[in-house]
Amino acid sequence: MSSAPPYGSWLPPVAEPPVRSDGGDGGPARWAPWTAWVALVTAFAFAIAGAIVVGLVGAAFGASFRDPPPAVNIVATFVQDAAFISAALLFARSAGRAAVAQLGFVRTRLWSALGWMALAYVAYGILSSVWAQVVHTHARDNLPTSLGVSESTAALVAVCVLVTTIAPLAEETLFRGYFFGALRNWRGPWPAAILTGIVFGAIHYGSADKVFLLPLAIFGIGLCLVRERTGSLLPCIALHAINNSLAFGVAEHWTAGEIVLLAIGAVSVTQLVCGVVLTRTPARA
């Protein structure tokens, strides 16, 4: 019986460098646990500074700085995601040259990845359904509306790309890539996963209804466990893209077929982006 190809095996082969003692093969990085919090604060500092600059530029062209229009908010959100990635890379590179591999941009076993993704998402779905019954809510994600998807087709497309592809790449790079990776060196994967999940849920305060924060924290914990069990960030990014596609499609009242096509497209785009990164990183055994 033949074994399944590695997750990411469709990509061009890369040279296999010698295994390094500092985790340069994509294994657990030796980041100090306290740097997780510094990286998080740095990411938000970058994001806030970028949003201020975007707001000032918008104001220079006549937009309100205190109540910016959707176009300014969309650009500011893109800048926020860029800040997340920049902070993760900045701190990861400070500990060695193999930063991208240590963040989790490495290949892993296909069937194992799909199995852990399915397990995490089913558990998240069950727990979210129970929580919805407890709090008696059927609230939907309000981020697309707050970003002005109803203003124009261009805004709809931009927010769709932002929510389903850019956000999964950026948030997974920071939270499951660096934040969880550094905290894991403190007390192991479980405490790190719980703390990462709590922070992941908390950062969505304001962009999501408050009743969503606990389910989002549970989702964040599940993504950490997928990262831990597969040794790769690729399945986390794919699962995040699927979840965001579902949330976006439901919020916009799309049909089931349209949501499925959106999820396939989002996963394809995020994995192609990862593929560009993977061609520069070693394959995980």
Look at residue 177 and tell me whether its pLDDT is greater than 70: yes
pLDDT of residue 245: 96
152-175 tens-digit pLDDT: 788 889 999 999 999 999 999 999
The whole-chain average pLDDT of the chain stands at 85
pLDDT of residue 12: 40
pLDDT of residue 140: 61
pLDDT of residue 11: 44
Contact 133, 206 (CB under 8 A): no
What are the φ/ψ torsions at residue 205 (nearest 5 degrees)?
A: -65, 125
**CA-CA-CA-CA torsion for 48, 49, 52, 57, nearest 10 degrees?**
-140
Q: Which positions ≥6 away from 248 have C-beta within 8 Å?
A: 141, 144, 159, 160, 163, 164, 262
Percentage of residues of the chain with pLDDT beyond 70: 82
248-278 tens-digit pLDDT: 998 888 999 999 999 999 999 999 999 988 8
Give the residue with greater pLDDT, 21 vs 124: 124
Give the residue with greater pLDDT, 62 vs 12: 62
| Token pair for 240 | 């995040």
Mean pLDDT value across residues 71-93: 93
Which pTM value belongs to this model? 0.86
pLDDT of residue 252: 87
Collapse the DSSP code of 30 into the 3-class scheme (helix H, G, I; strand E, B; otherwise coil) and give the result: coil
pLDDT of residue 143: 64
Look at residue 10 and tell me whether its pLDDT is greater than 50: no
Comparing C-alpha atoms, which of 222, 213, 218, 269 is closest to residue 241?
269
Q: Looking at this protein, which amino acid is placed at residue 264?
A: I
- In angstroms, the CA 250 to CA 263 distance is 12
Confidence label for 98 from pLDDT (cuts 50, 70 and 90): low
- The helix-helix angle for 70-93 and 153-161 (nearest 10°) equals 20
- In angstroms, the CA 26 to CA 103 distance is 8
- In angstroms, the CA 273 to CA 117 distance is 19
199-223 tens-digit pLDDT: 999 998 877 778 888 999 999 999 9
Give residue for tokens 């997340």. Answer: 84
Look at residue 285 and tell me whether its pLDDT is greater than 90: no
Most confident of the ranges 27-41, 87-101, 136-150: 27-41
Contact 279, 12 (CB under 8 A): yes
Mean pLDDT value across residues 133-145: 69
Collapse the DSSP code of 57 into the 3-class scheme (helix H, G, I; strand E, B; otherwise coil) and give the result: helix
